[in-house]
Chains A and B, each alone.
Chain A
Amino acid sequence: GIQVEQSPPDLILQEGANSTLRCNFSDSVNNLQWFHQNPWGQLINLFYIPSGTKQNGRLSATTVATERYSLLYISSSQTTDSGVYFCAPTIAGKSTFGDGTTLTVKP
């Protein structure tokens, strides 16, 4: 099956800093989604982004499907951004999750 690699595995930031999370995948995909899992375990969909760039407030994402990677940008980070960020590329309806990037934002 598809291989999904996320980097870095862990990231510690000071509040206000910017960060870039990366997701590499091994096969051509139909779409890709980014999720945030908060400290209470809830999984929230951030972006549905098969290609191109999208922005939502302080977050933006870019997927370059032909090169098999996606990036998630977090600007002016806040403590509430802490948690685990997952990417999930999808092939034929089946989404495979990476191991995630654990982000800790310190006040």
Chain B
Amino acid sequence: DAGVIQSPRHEVTEMGQEVTLRCKPISGHDYLFWYRQTMMRGLELLIYFNNNVPIDDSGMPEDRFSAKMPNASFSTLKIQPSEPRDSAVYFCASSLGGNTIYFGEGSWLTVV
């Protein structure tokens, strides 16, 4: 299996620009998670979906962040407008039935 696939792997953008991160979960998995990792706050759950439906978005920091899952094989996390404090590694992960979680390799975002 190809695993969870994220893109881009690295992105450097200027403050105020829109950033879109993409994720393809493992085929057949029904849960999809977006996490953010920073030195200060560790690994935080931003939002998760079950069968393409957002279940809990309480971790989304503010209205500048949005996430969608239009189908079972694709999800996006969008930041608009981006700010330097959004710099972090963003991980997508998926699981089957809420069991073992498999992470992608992460998208390393730097906002300057």
- In the assembled complex, A66 has its CB within 8 A of some CB on chain B: no
Q: Which residues of A contact B44 (CB under 8 A)?
A: 97
Report the minimum CB–CB distance from A23 to chain B (whole Å): 14
Interface size class of A (residues with CB under 8 A): 20 to 34
CA distance A97 to B43 in the complex (A): 6
Contact A42 B48 (CB under 8 A): no
Q: Indicate with 1 or 0, residue by residue over A73-99, a CB within 8 angstroms of chain B CB atoms.
A: 000000000000010101001111111
Given contacts A94-B56, A97-B43, A100-B42, contact A45 B48 (CB under 8 A): no
CA distance A44 to B103 in the complex (A): 7
Report the minimum CB–CB distance from A61 to chain B (whole Å): 13
CA distance A48 to B106 in the complex (A): 21
Interface size on B, residues (CB 8 A): 23
Contact B101 A99 (CB under 8 A): no
Could you say which of A30, A33, A42, A98 contacts B101, with CB atoms under 8 Å apart?
A33
Contact B89 A41 (CB under 8 A): yes
Q: Which residues of B contact A35 (CB under 8 A)?
A: 101, 103
Residues of B with Cβ closer than 8 Å to A? 31, 33, 35, 42-45, 48, 50, 55-56, 89, 91, 93, 98-103, 105-106, 108
Residues of A with Cβ closer than 8 Å to B? 30-31, 33, 35, 41-45, 48, 86, 88, 90, 93-100
